[in-house]
Amino acid sequence: MQFGLIEMWQAMGAVAKAVSLLLISLSIISLYLFIERQLAFNRAKTRSHLIAPKLAEMLKNGQIKEALALASKKDNKGSHLARVTAAGIQEFLSGKEAHLNHEEQINTAQRGCDRAANLFNQDLKRGLNILATIATSAPFIGLFGTISGIINAFRSMSLTGSGGIGAVAGGISEALVTTAFGIGVAIIALWCYNLLNTKIEIYDAEMDNTTSQVIDFFIRASESK
């Protein structure tokens, strides 16, 4: 018996073939989610790098409403820094219109920034739970194919009445292929998950820094009056 991919596929039972096709689908989903999230992250990074210096300059010059208008533009919705800044300014101005004292206005702005950061964090994490599920379940799916292959090996022994390697080679190879495939898919999904999660942590830190800068601006503005 030859052990090329085509020969092994032909020797596989229906269960092992179904498991292999499922694992192939999961690997495609993992790669798709990784690429889609990377594109979303890059859009946020590019837009934020363009708008952040402008917003910082406007706030420094006391142009609060102008900064709000810029951060709220439709083109800047994909920027995590713009969304945090816009939320903080909006809540600060709303508190001012409600005649809150300055400390309460600052606290309101802080909560607005935090809410925007949390919402954007959830947007960034979209699809990561699927990657985590694939990473944890793929080895067990492969193991299911492994069990099927072992059963086929024993069935071959029963049918041939022989315990030689030739009688069980097909079932054993089937078992090993699905095991290796399941582990490989899990590694891909886990690698994608960890890399994306690391980038999300970086964006979270950037949003925290932006929140601090916005709140510090409001504090300095109150002290200068």
Question: How confident is the model over 147-191, as pLDDT tens digits?
Answer: 777 776 666 666 655 555 554 555 566 677 788 889 999 999 999
Place of tokens 């510090």: 216
Task: Report whether 83 contacts 77 (CB < 8 A).
Answer: yes
Task: Report whether 174 contacts 12 (CB < 8 A).
Answer: yes
Q: What is the largest CA-CA distance in the chain?
A: 96
Q: What is the pLDDT of residue 116?
A: 93
In this prediction, the residues of the chain whose per-residue pLDDT falls under 50 are 1-2, 167
Q: What is the pLDDT of residue 18?
A: 86
Q: What is the pLDDT of residue 38?
A: 94
Tokens describing residue 103: 């400390």
Q: What is the pLDDT of residue 163?
A: 53
Query: What is the distance between the alpha carbons of residues 1 and 4, in angstroms, rounded to a whole number?
Result: 9
Structure letter (DSSP) for residue 12: S
Task: Report whether 148 contacts 13 (CB < 8 A).
Answer: yes
Place of tokens 């690997």: 27
Q: Residue type at 181?
A: F
